Structure formats: C-alpha cells, structure tokens
Structure 1
Amino acid sequence: MRTWLPLSMIGLALAGPSVGPAVAQGVPTFDLRLFAERQAILEQTDRDLALQQDRLTREEELAEIERQQLASLEGLMDAMSLGSGDVAGTVAGLESGQGVVQGSVGDVESAAASLYAPEDNNPAAARMFGDAREGIEELIIRAARHTHGLPGVSRAGLSLVQWRCLLQALIWQESRFQIGARSPVGAFGLTQIMPGTAGDLGIYPAYYDDPWLQVTGGARYLAQMLNMFDGNIIHALAAYNAGPGNVQDYGGVPPFAETQHYVVVIPQQYNSYLAAVGGIDALGTIDPVLLANASFSLSAHGAGVYGDYSLVSVRAAALRVQDIITRIGETEDLHEAIALNTYARAELARLVAIRTRIKAAHTQPLSEEQLAMAAAQAAERQFMDFTLESLR
C-alpha cells in the first residue's frame, strides 16, 4: 500500500530556519549544511515513493496470479463435474448396441453380450474348437439317433446300429465323407442332395453350410424312399440314386449302369461297416485315409463358414468403435470423455479376442491337412514293402 508522509513533515522539510539576526539585518547567507539535510530528505522521499510503487506493482501481480489460479480451479471443478450427460446411460447404450444402427432399440448383432459372448456364438465354432469337437463319425451317429424313429426306417426293420451303418455306407459312396462334394449335375454335400430335393426337405439353401443338415437331410430322404417302397432297401437305394419315378416305371432297379453299381457297392460297404461296428457309438470304423480327409474337409469347411460369419461380427465391432469415437467428440465434460476413452480401450481388447479366434480358425485346417497327408503317406508305405515270403 502507498504510504504518504504527513504534510507537517513536508512543511518542516521545506520551511526555512527561523529568521536569524543575519536575515533581519538584510545580509544574505547560504547554509550548506541545511541545504544538504533538505536534499537528503527529498531523496529519501523519492526512494520511499519508488519502494511503495514497487510494492504496489508486486501486489497487483500477485492479485492477478491469484485470480488466474482461481479461474483455473473453477474450470477444473467444472470439468470434473458430472455435467448434464448421463455417463452410465451412455455406457449402457453402447453395451446394448444403441447408436450402431438407426433406431432407439439396441441391435442384437451389435450388443456386447452377443458380439463378445464368453461362448462363441458363431455357428461353426462347435466344429472348430473345444475338446468336444465333432468328427464325421460322431456326426453320423448323432444323425442316426435323430432320424431312427422315421416311419421308413421302422418299415425296413433296421436297428439303430444297422441304420447308422447304412447311412455311413451311403455317405461313403456319395461323397467319400467330403462336406463340399459337388456333382456335375448340382448334387451337393455329404449325401449329395439335389437343390430341388433340398427345397422339398426344407433345408435349402442352409444345407450348403451345415453338414448336419446334409446328413439328416439325406437320412430323411432315404427314409422316405424306404417308406415308399415298403422297406425294400435295394429299391430305396435305387430311388435315392435314379429317382423314385424311374424305380416305379421299371418296377425295380432301373437298367442304368450307375444305379446298377450303386445298389451293389452300398450293401457291400454296409456289411463291412456292420462287421466293424460293435455298437452305435463305435468309432474308428472308417478307413484312416478317408477319415483324415474327412476331418480336413470338416475343418476347412468350418473355417470358411466361421470366416463368413466373422465378417458380420467384425463389421459390427468396427461400427461400435466408430460410434464410441463419435461420442467422444460430442462430450460436454471431462468425466464423460474419460469414461468413453476407457470404454474405447476395452472395446479394442475385445477386438483382439475376435482376431485371436479368427486366427485359430485359420490354423485349424492346416493341422488337419498335415494329418491327412500323414495318413496318406502311411497308406502308401504299405505298397512299398517288397519283402518276399519264404517258400519253404
């Protein structure tokens, strides 16, 4: 603060000494000592004024700094406040998939619970991963159990084991256990079902991507033929190959070379399987080379289906990240921005999990291919044994 000298002191400093005898007598004098004292007083006054001015300047600077600090603290408090946004509601909306697609109701495909479920909901996941992964024999066994109660099977008097062996022999002849087998005329899959027949069975076009539908569809169609031809297995097989109309027209097996061969080799293979199968759940009844190729076929086809469905998941995940980033730019306070940034990082970790699954699906067929090659090489070695028997 400025400190002013009292006027009385200034007056005393500037006032002259009492009129002495010399003045009274009219004789001018110059008192050097007195002049020096007055000069010193004036200089001290200037120094005091400068000091007061310096103190005032520093106080004003401190006041400005304090004002800026208070303004910064107020801004920080405003930023850290919850603001008008509902952060919990925003996160809940992101979890349900809101904002990813148009509309106020969350999209099921984009909901976190569906997209990042602990158990992979990809339809091909069960065929690709896990200890309970189903092989071709397990698939045939399950399909045989599922369709054994059909009227045609009962009409033929087939037991569950016999029905399993007949289906297995049919698949052996039709596709050699290759899921993606396709004939020149358009028959497809393990049981080589024509698209028109698949439509009649209600499995078109889903059976192109589902080996279960291929096996059960073929089993249902064979059961229909058994029922149509009074349980006659040979006529039912001929109808499966050449069509029921031809069997009816010829009153039995048509004279087509393919059909004539068909009704011979399948019963032979059926008898071979029946001799090897000790029970409905028996495994290891398929030739090792065919079994290895079938496993490779299952894995390769499953990887393709898994990849196709994963494209949907990846797109939904990308839209979720895009929505999060868009919302970050629209935040009104720091609290909401921090929450969304944290959520975005968690979303990226979820994407890494999806990527890991896709890489695993890509790797699985490679392992199955190596097993198939090893089985083929083992079979070839049997023909490389040139040991001659001793004829004693």
Structure 2
Amino acid sequence: MLSEKSAETVRATLPAVGAAIGDITALFYPKMFAAHPELLRDLFNRGNQAAGTQRQALAGSIAAFATALVEHPEQRPDAMLERIAHKHASLGVTAPQYHIVHEHLFAAIVEVLGDAVTEEVAAAWDEVYWLMANALIAIENRLYAQHGVVHGDTWRPWEVTERIQETADVVTFRLRPADGKPLPAAKPGQYVSVRVELPDGARQIRQYSLTGSFAENETTRSITVKRVLPGADGPTDPAGEVSNRLHDHVQVGDVLDISAPYGDLVLRDTDKPLLLASAGIGCTPILAMLGHLAETDHRGPVTVVHGDRSPADHALRTDHRALAEKLQNGAAHFWYEQPEGSAPVDRAGVVDLSAIELPATDLEAYLCGPLPFMREVRAQLLALGVPASAIHYEVFGPDLWLAS
C-alpha cells in the first residue's frame, strides 16, 4: 500500500486536507468541466452537480480512503472501492478519464492549500490518488470483462414492451434487448444505467434497480422509475430531468440505451435469518431479492420492513406483500406516515424495529431507502447486537454515507 514515507506525510497532513477537501472539490469540478464540458453533458449527473451532493461524495471517499491507508495499512477498503467501481462501470468510465480527474483535482489542491503543498506533500497525495485510481480501474476492467463489453462501451439498445403505472409518480418499464441477443447476467439487487437524450442534446445517465423476475426463462427485464420533481430552480433545475423525460415521453415500442447490470448490494446465498428493510422507492432492489427468494423456495426466516408516506405512495405494494407471504417463513411489516384504508393503526409513523420480533442471532440485513432512514435502521440494528458486517446497504445517487 502506501510507502512508509508517504504514509507519514499523509498522516501529518490529513487533518488539513480533510478540512479543506470541500473547498478543493468545489473548485475541482468547475475546472474540469470548463476544460471538458462533455463530461458534465454526457457523463456526470447534472442534478447532483447542481445540488452539490457529488462534491460531498467525492470528498468523503477521498478522506475515507486516505484515512484507511494510514490507520489500517495492512488492508485495502475493498467494500468502498467495489461500490464506486460498480457505479463507474455502469456509466462507462474509462482509465484515461482518471488522468483528467488527476490533473484538475491536483490543480485545485494546489490552489486551495497554496504553499502548504510542498513537493513531498504533493508526492504523498499523488500516491494516495493513484493507489485509489488504479484499484478502481482494475475492478472496473474485471466488471467489464464479466459482461464481455469493451472498456467503457457498456450500452445496448432495449425496447420498451410494456409500461405500467404503479402509482401517481412511479412507472415500471418492461424491456427486452432490441438487438436480439440474450439477456445479460444479473443478480437480485443490481441496477442498470439508462442513458437518455434530452432536449438540449445532453445524454444524461441515471441508475435504476432491476425489478421483476430473474428466472432463467425470462426474456425481459424491468425497471421501476419514480418521478423526481425539479429542485429549487423550478423547471430549469436539472434534478429529475431524466425521470421526467422517461415518465412523459417514453412509451411502448421506444428504444432506450441501457447498460449491463451492476451493483454490489446483492443477496448472498445463505440460510441465515434475513431482514429486508426499505423506504420509498428503495423497495425496488428489495422486491428483486424477495422474488428470487420466492423462486428458489427459500426456507429461512425473512422479515420484510417498509416505510412510506401512505399506502397509495407505496410502489409495488401488492407484490411486496404477496412475495413476502409466499415465503415459507416470511413476514411483512409496513409503516405509513399517513395510514389509510387497511393500513393497521400500530404501523402508523416511521419504521420502528422495536415493534417487531427479530431473530436474536445470525441476522443478515439489507437496507435501501433515503439516507436518514438507513442510518436510523442501522442504529437500531446495532443496538440490538447485529454486527456492522452483517448490515448491507444501497444508496440511490452519490454515496453520502462516507461524507457524514
């Protein structure tokens, strides 16, 4: 890992770099996009850039990686690297783009920290960057090879065969390969990227979890898309520009550019008791996991937990409950902030694990939903004695867990 000399320098300068990393990333992105506008137009999420969440995620990942190098030099933070690499592969990131990032990131570091960036400091942090970058490139190359795609060329045309309005703001699109080739291998919990051309010519990319069946005889895949409302700047705000385009313009017969499946939050093959906890549209990877458990006649105990605004807002609610009840040892518990109809009174409000009985030992938990929800559920699980290594999560959008 880090050379001994660089480790000493990074350890000594980590507090200063960590304190300035927000300013560094805020300067880095405008510099890079000014030199390479195509990256913002066709690769980076313009909504996340406008909201600043991508800057927070980058800052958090760099700080976490550097901290891991100096505090645990004997091991590499593979879990974090795998998560980032899967996202990069779904976007079609290539090795030369890491050189572009390096150039503009280090220019921003020098501009923010000034004379503090001595030759020794620059060399040490350069080593940190390339340790992280080369590790990601290696993982991404492996992921591309697994799907048999040329590095970065992850896109295939898929035809929309069915459009299902799940709720007022959620639509499921059923898709089949338009090139007639077999479905790519996918695991329950994974996502695909969808590339959409927008009115201004930009080709923006978003990730959506695969839903529906993963059985070998399937000829289609499904994605379920929640409409994201524009942000503070109204219709011109880039937040939600892809989901709104999909909702308002994509119909049966249309063709979409879609990546191979990626994502490191996949259901492990285990007989241990499972907790599948979600909130909002975070139910989508959980539905895929539940479907797989039902198809494979899973015998172990499975506790399904979901929180939503109301039953009417709960996308795929009927499938969610039916799949849980199809399991030999499954139980579903839904909480609604605004209960109505058949929603039980004791499930009003937000998810509270103390209200249900969970297995005392060997529990494996999978979480997906808004970050505050996952942090709260994780805290409850840790308080119950569930080890952190048994709690797995998926973040939609930039991973801000490390940025907190």
Which TM-score bucket, shorter chain as reference?
under 0.3
User: Which protein has the bigger strand share?
Assistant: 2
Higher Cα radius of gyration: 1
Please identify which structure carries the higher helix content: 1
Relative contact order, higher structure (CA 8 A, sep 6+): 1
